[in-house]
Structure 1
Amino acid sequence: MPETLISGRFAGKRALVTGGTQGMGAAILRRLLAEGAQVATTARAAPPPGLVPSLFVQADVSTAAGVRSVVEAVTARFGGLDLLVNVVGGSAAPSGGFAALDDEIWQGELALNLFPAVRFDRAFLPGMIARGAGAVLHISSIQARLPLPEATLAYAAAKAALTTYSKGLSKEVGPKGVRVNTISPGFIETAAATRLIERLATRAGTDAAEARLGLMRSLGGIPIGRPGLPEEVAALAAFLLSAEAASIHGADYVIDGGTVPVV
C-alpha cells in the first residue's frame, strides 16, 4: 500500500510535474499538492474535473516552443523551481517490429520521451544550482532494460537514453547540491491501461481479468500477481523528492512487481 501522506512535507516548495493531468503524472501531482507544495503542470489537454494544480499550462512539450512556453509561465508565477518531475512520455508507434519504424516515428519517440526532460532540466537546473539545492526526478521505464520489439522498440530506446542521461546528469550536478534520480515503472494500471485492457477483452471475446493476465504474460509475468498502481509510483516519487532521501542520488528505482528477471 502507498505510504501515509506526510502533511506539509513539501511546504514552501515549488514543483513542476510534466504530463500531470492523467495517469502517474496526475497521481504525483495530487501527492505533492496534498503534502504542501505549489505544483504546476503541463499537458496537451486540460486537467480533468477535480484536479486543480497551482498552475496549468496547456502545451505540447515534445516541441522546443512548447517547453519554452511552460518555462516562461512557471518562471513568471514561481520565480524558479525546487522540484522537477519529468513524467511526460508514451508511444504511438505501430506494430510490425523494427521495419515499421521509419525516421518520423523514431524522431517522434525521442521528441516525447527524451527531449522534454533535457529541455526542462536545461531551463530550471541553473536556478537550483545557484541556490545549491533541488531535486529532479525522471520517469523512465523498465523497457529501458526489458524492451518489447513488436511496437515499442523506439520508445524503449528513448527511455534507455533518458536513464543514461539521468545518470550522467547526476554526476555533474550532485556536487552542486541538486539530486537527480530515475523511476522505472513496469505495468502500471492507469486509466489508459484500463481502457486498453477493456479493448483487448472486447476484441478477444473475454473479460478484463483475462485480458489483464494476457498483458502480464506478455511481460514475462508479474511475480506479485497484479499491475502496480499510479498512487504507488507517486508514493515512491514523493519519498525520492523529499529530504528523507537526501543521500539517494543517481539511482534508478524499478517499481514493477518483480517483472524484470535480473538483478
Structure 2
Amino acid sequence: MTPFLTLEGRRALITGGTSGAGAATVALFKALGARVLTTARTRPADFSGAAFVEADLTTKAGVQTVVDAVNRELGGLDILVNVLGGSSAPSGGFSVLTDEEWDKEFNLNFFPAVRLDRALLPAMIAQGSGVVIHVTSIQRNLPLPEATTGYASAKAALNTYSKSLSKEVSPKGVRVVRVSPGWIADRGSNGLALRIAEQAGISYDDAVQVIMRSLGGIPLGRPAAPQEVADLIAFLASDRASSITGSEHVIDGGTVPTS
C-alpha cells in the first residue's frame, strides 16, 4: 500500500536545519525518504543524519558555497525550504534601528531566500518541476513595535516576493508556497520562557503564559511545536499538495485575530 505521504528520492535543501523547526524538518524529510542537505553557520557537535555544509547565508559568498554543495552532493534540487530566520535587533522601537541593524534583519530574513532562488530555480524550471517553501512569519501582520519592526518588515518583504515569484514560475512547473508560523517553542528549545521564569522567579508554565499575553493571546493555549511546523512543510512539499501554489499557510494557534 502506498503511504499517504512520501518524499522518496526527492533532493531537498533545508536552510537553518540545525535547531527548532529547521531541525525537525530535516529529520522528517529524511524519514520520508528524501535526500537532504542542510546548512548553518556552524555544525553542532552532535549533528548527524543529513549532509551538511557550513556557510553564512547572510553573505553572497556563503550562498555560493551552498549552491556549490547542492550541485556536488545532490546533483540538482527538487525541494528548497528556506527556514533560516531570526532577529538580534535591540528593543526600543524604530529609533534604535540603525542602518546596520536594518541590514542585519534583511541579510538574514530576506536576501538568503532571494539569492538561493535566483541560483537554484533555473534548474528546477529546466526540469519542469520543483517546490520552493519560504518560512515567513505572522509578524508581517502582527509586528511588535518595541522589538520586531525590522524582522517583521523583512518577513513582509519575503512574503510579497514569494507571491510574485509564484506567479512567475508556477506556469513553468515550480510551486512556491509560504509557511507563516507564530510562536514556535518546546520545553527543550524555549530559551525565552526559561529565561523569563528564572528572572521573574516563576514556573516555566507561568512564563509561557507571560509570553502568550504579550502576543495578545493564543486561542489554542500553547505555542506550536517544531514538529508541527515540520509536518506542514512536508505536506506542502509532497505530491499531496500538487495543486497548492502561491498561498500562505499560517500555523499560529489562532494568534492573528483576523483572517
Question: TM-score, with normalisation over the residues of structure 2?
Answer: 0.96
The answer to whether the Cα contact below 8 Å between 1:23 and 1:191 also exists between their aligned partners in 2 is: no
CA distance in 2, matches of 1:121, 1:78: 16
The more displaced of 70-79 and 97-106 is: 70-79
SS in 2 for 1:165: helix
* Corresponding position of 1:158: 154
The answer to whether the Cα contact below 8 Å between 1:30 and 1:51 also exists between their aligned partners in 2 is: no
Query: Deviations along 1:44-85, whole A, 9 cap, x unmatched?
Result: 1214525421x1001110111001011111111211100000
CA distance in 2, matches of 1:155, 1:131: 34
* Corresponding position of 1:38: 35
* Corresponding position of 2:257: 261
SS in 2 for 1:56: strand
- Deviation of 1:192 after TM superposition, in Å, equals 7.6
Q: Sort the Cα spacing of 1:166 and 1:225 in 2 relative to 1 into closer, same or farther, 3 A.
A: same
* Corresponding position of 1:77: 73
Q: Sort the Cα spacing of 1:192 and 1:106 in 2 relative to 1 into closer, same or farther, 3 A.
A: farther
Counterpart of 1:170, as a letter, is S
Q: Sort the Cα spacing of 1:8 and 1:260 in 2 relative to 1 into closer, same or farther, 3 A.
A: closer
Counterpart of 2:126, as a letter, is A
* Corresponding position of 1:180: 176
**Pairwise CA RMSD:** 1.4
Q: Sort the Cα spacing of 1:192 and 1:162 in 2 relative to 1 into closer, same or farther, 3 A.
A: farther
Counterpart of 2:257, as a letter, is P
1:222 and 2:231 equivalent? no
Counterpart of 1:109, as a letter, is E
The answer to whether the Cα contact below 8 Å between 1:23 and 1:192 also exists between their aligned partners in 2 is: no
Q: Sort the Cα spacing of 1:23 and 1:130 in 2 relative to 1 into closer, same or farther, 3 A.
A: same
* Corresponding position of 2:102: 106
For residue 24 of structure 1, the aligned residue among 15, 21, 25 is 21
**Pairs within 5 Å for 1:1-263:** 6=3, 9-47=6-44, 49=46, 51-53=48-50, 55-190=51-186, 194-263=190-259
Counterpart of 1:216, as a letter, is M
Counterpart of 1:181, as a letter, is V
Which structure 2 residue ranges, 5 or more long, are not aligned? none
Counterpart of 1:138, as a letter, is H
% identical aligned pairs: 58
The answer to whether the Cα contact below 8 Å between 1:20 and 1:87 also exists between their aligned partners in 2 is: yes
SS in 2 for 1:226: coil
* Corresponding position of 1:3: none
SS in 1 for 2:145: coil
- Deviation of 1:136 after TM superposition, in Å, equals 0.4
Which structure 1 residue ranges, 5 or more long, are not aligned? 1-5
Query: Deviations along 1:199-256, whole A, 9 cap, x unmatched?
Result: 1111112111111101001111000111110000011000000001011100000000
CA distance in 2, matches of 1:184, 1:68: 26
**Which of structure 1's runs of 4+ aligned residues deviate more than 3 A?**
190-193
CA distance in 1, matches of 2:92, 2:189: 21
Counterpart of 2:90, as a letter, is P
Counterpart of 1:65, as a letter, is A
- Deviation of 1:8 after TM superposition, in Å, equals 7.6
Question: TM-score, with normalisation over the residues of structure 1?
Answer: 0.95
